[in-house]
A and B are shown apart, each in its own frame.
Chain A
Amino acid sequence: AQSVAQPEDQVNVAEGNPLTVKCTYSVSGNPYLFWYVQYPNRGLQFLLKYITGDNLVKGSYGFEAEFNKSQTSFHLKKPSALVSDSALYFCAVRDSLSGGGADGLTFGKGTHLIIQP
């Protein structure tokens, strides 16, 4: 079974400071990892993904994430936070072994990111 943990319900960062939103995962095979952002009363917007290759993945709006296989982590980062980054962030995983059509993503419970001016 695949699972995702986002240990922080909320992360508070001052504008201009670096931010990190944490995510750890558990899969049987190789992980396919995703970050999505959700603004109030909206659907999920794709930020970035890791499938294979370079452990540092760059995505939309200046976000990046680092895949760490030994720590089974995929933390989301941004060097300088903006107030407009304030939103709900979800980490998601799919196991490479989830064949047979079971291609659903498993999401974490989400982390509220609050950027203070």
Chain B
Amino acid sequence: DAGVTQSPTHLIKTRGQHVTLRCSPISGHKSVSWYQQVLGQGPQFIFQYYEKEERGRGNFPDRFSARQFPNYSSELNVNALLLGDSALYLCASREDRGTDTQYFGPGTRLTVL
């Protein structure tokens, strides 16, 4: 079975631009979470979506938004990019909320110049 997939793999943007990152969960998984991993640090929680509704949000500004589609895939959008947004963005899926294991995709490396 395919794991979590993310696109694109790498992305280079300039300050002030907008970016959209995409994630497809493992088949049968209804929950998708997004994390930001800055170089040298552990991942930080951005959003969790379950059944197409936002269920949790980390300490990120309103420039960050996301949505989940009927097929459970998800998009993460970041507006007005800052240099500090440069990071590896990870998507994770799990079957249901709660204690189920989160399985991570390979990530999208975003570089903001």
Contacts and interface: CB of A to CB of B under 8 A. Distances in A.
Nearest to A102: B56
A43 B104 contact: yes
Contacts, number: 70
B49 to A, nearest CB: 9
B105 interface: yes
Most buried by A among B33, B43, B54: B43
B65 interface: no
A109 B97 contact: no
Given A43-B90, A43-B106, A44-B90, A103 B98 contact: yes
A94 B31 CA distance: 16
A110 B42 contact: yes
B105 A109 contact: no
B45 A101 contact: no
Interface in A58-115: 90, 92, 94, 100-110
Contacts of B48: 101-104
Chain B binding surface SS class: strand
B41 A105 contact: no
Size range of the chain B interface in the assembly:
20 to 34
Contacts of A90: 42-43
B90 A103 contact: no
Contact of A43 (B55, B99, B101, B107): B107
B51 to A, nearest CB: 11
A9 to B, nearest CB: 10
Contact of A49 (B43, B44, B101, B104): B101
Closest 7 CB pairs of A and B: A104-B45, A101-B55, A107-B42, A44-B104, A43-B104, A101-B56, A102-B56
Given A43-B104, A46-B102, 8 more contacts: A101-B50, A102-B57, A104-B56, A105-B33, A105-B102, A107-B42, A108-B42, A109-B40
